Amino acid sequence: MVYPIVKFGDPVLEREADEVREFDTPELHQFLADMFDSMYAAKGVGLAAPQIGFSRKIAVIDVSNGENAEEKLVLINPRIIKTEGRQEGEEGCLSIPGFREQVRRAKRVTVHAQNAKGEEFEMTGEDLLARAFLHETDHLYGRLYITHISALKRDLMKRKIKKLQRAGEWG
Ligand code: NI
């Protein structure tokens, strides 16, 4: 099923999600399928469980936008264990629609996570995948990408969002 995306302003996006302790259950497999469906429906390359209202440390990523099934990634209880280099680029978030900002991120990132069976693994990604590892893992600790931009830009963005909220144009 496709869940609606939770928008900035909902407290579920700004608190640390709960660790996942039960693996390989029908409920977890269904939830992961729903996360991919919700991400593709929203045309995102990554989605964290709090963005559909579930405070659980689960993220899905597909930097191929559904073009290549081999690029589907599930990160459960992820931790960033190594970062190298720098990249500059625009970043957006499904929970903050209509906004994009330049965000400096590491160029090469290694994440430690568990898969749907609870097996631990490490994976290193570069460029867009590195950015997705950082962005989605941040979500699971209650951090949005706007914590990585200047306070001035962040305040401006928050003011615009408040205006949209008052106009009833923010979910
Ligand atoms: Ni996001």
Confidence label for 163 from pLDDT (cuts 50, 70 and 90): very high
Å from CA of 9 to ligand 1 middle:
13
Per-residue pLDDT, averaged over 51-63, amounts to 98
Span 103-128, pLDDT tens digits: 999 999 999 999 999 999 999 999 99
Contact 61, 73 (CB under 8 A): yes
Å from CA of 102 to ligand 1 middle:
14
User: Is domain 11-166 annotated with CATH 3.90.45.10?
Assistant: yes
Edge-first strand order for the sheet with 73-84 is 46-48, 58-61, 73-84, 108-114, 120-126
Span 81-107, pLDDT tens digits: 999 999 999 999 999 999 999 999 999
Å from CA of 94 to ligand 1 middle:
6
* CA–CA dist 101, 81 (Å, integer): 25
Share of the chain above pLDDT 90, in %: 96
* CA–CA dist 146, 53 (Å, integer): 19
Question: In the chain, what are the domain boundaries?
Answer: 11-166
* CA–CA dist 10, 130 (Å, integer): 26
SS3 10: coil
Residues acting as catalytic residues: 136
Confidence label for 171 from pLDDT (cuts 50, 70 and 90): confident
Q: How far is CA 71 from CA 66, 80, 86, in A?
A: 8, 19, 23
Å from CA of 8 to ligand 1 middle:
10
**Does the predicted TM-score (pTM) go above 0.85?**
yes
**Res. 136: pLDDT tops 90:** yes
Q: Which of the 8 DSSP states describes residue 3?
A: P
